Structure 1
Amino acid sequence: QGSNVTALPSLRLWCPQGVPHSQDTVKEEQEVAEMGPPEGSAPMTSTVITIPRETPHRDHVLWSLFSTLFLNWCCLGFVAFAYSVRARDRKMVGDIIGAQSYASTAKCLNIWALVLGLLLTITLIAVFATVSAVNFRLYFRI
C-alpha cells in the first residue's frame, strides 16, 4: 500500500521500489478505489485529540528581581517583584486571566522603575559632577 508516483512525460506508474506497475494492476487499483471498503468491515472513524498548547505567559520575575536589587527607587522594584510572584502563582493554579493581569501590572511597574531609576541616576551623576567642578574651581581658585 505504498504511494505511487507518476513519471513524466510518460504515464507509467512506479512503485516505491522502482518496479513498474503493469496496466492491469493500475486498473485493479482503480476498481478497488471506486468500489470502496468491503461490506463486512467496520466504518472508518477518526479520533481528534486536542492537546492544549501551553502558551508561555511571561511573569517578569527576573526583571522584577533586577529592579528590586539595582533600581529600587521608591520601592517600585519590590512592588513589581510582588506582582510577578503573584502572576507566577496564578499561572501555576491555572488562572490565566489573573496571571496576565498581575504580569501586566508587574511589567508596568518594572518600566516605571527602570525609567525613574535611570533618570534619578543620571540626575545624581550630573549634580555630583557639577558640585565637584564648582568645588574644584573654588579649591584651586581658577
Structure 2
Amino acid sequence: MDVEGGRPAPGVQMQDYQQQPGGELAPPLVQYTAVTMVAETPKDHIIWSLCLFVYCNPCFLGLVALIFSIKARDRKMMGDLQEAQRYGSTARIINIVATVLLCLIVTACVIYYAIAIIKSVAIIKTISRPNGY
C-alpha cells in the first residue's frame, strides 16, 4: 500500500473499524438481506381459448389453442413448469393469430355489408323514380 502524505493510494478502500468497550478495534457488522422470490406460475390462457372456441372458431384455431391451453394446465398441475410455460406460450400465440384473423374477418364483413346496403339504396332510388328521372 502506497501512502502519500498520510492518505492511501487511490482505489484502496479503508475499512471502518469501531471501538469496542474493551478498547479493541472490531470490524463493522455486516447485515445480509435474503430475498425469497417465488417463481410466477405460467399462464395457460384457457379463458381466452374457450371464448375463441365457443364464439368464433376461425380456421379451427380456437380448438388448437384450447388443446394447448389444456396441456399447459395439465403440465402446471403436474409441476412441470417449463413445459407448462412452453404450451401456454404456444396457446397465447395461437390465440393472438385467431383474434387478429377474427378482427379482419369481422371488418371485411362490415365493409362488405356497408357497400351492399349503399348499392341497394341507390338501386331502390333509381327504381322508385318515375320515368327514370
Aligned length: 102
TM-score, normalization by structure 1: 0.61
5+ residue gaps, structure 1, are 1-28, 35-50
Q: Does 1:84 align with 2:73?
A: no
5+ residue gaps, structure 2, are 1-19, 26-35, 128-133
Q: Give 1:134 shift.
A: 0.8
Give the secondary structure class of the aligned counterpart of 1:141: helix
Q: State the percentage of identical aligned residues.
A: 35
Aligned counterpart in structure 1 of residue 103 of structure 2, from 112, 118, 124: 118
Are residues 66 and 30 of structure 1, via their aligned partners in 2, closer, same or farther at CA, if it must alter by over 3 Å? farther
Q: Give 1:54 shift.
A: 4.3
After superposition, residues 1-142 of structure 1 pair within 5 angstroms as 30=21, 53-141=38-126
Letter in 1 for 2:80: D
Instruction: Give a deviation string over 1:9-40, Cα, whole Å, max 9, x none.
Output: xxxxxxxxxxxxxxxxxxxx945xx9xxxxxx
Tell me if structure 1 keeps the 8 A contact 2:41–2:81.
no
Q: Give 1:117 shift.
A: 0.1
Tell me if structure 2 keeps the 8 A contact 1:61–1:81.
yes
CA RMSD of aligned residues (A): 2.6
| CA distance in structure 2 between the aligned counterparts of 1:78 and 1:62, rounded to whole angstroms | 12
Q: Give 1:107 shift.
A: 0.5
TM-score, normalization by structure 2: 0.65
| CA distance in structure 2 between the aligned counterparts of 1:78 and 1:138, rounded to whole angstroms | 43
| CA distance in structure 2 between the aligned counterparts of 1:58 and 1:30, rounded to whole angstroms | 58
Higher relative contact order structure (alpha carbons within 8 Å, sequence separation ≥ 6): 2
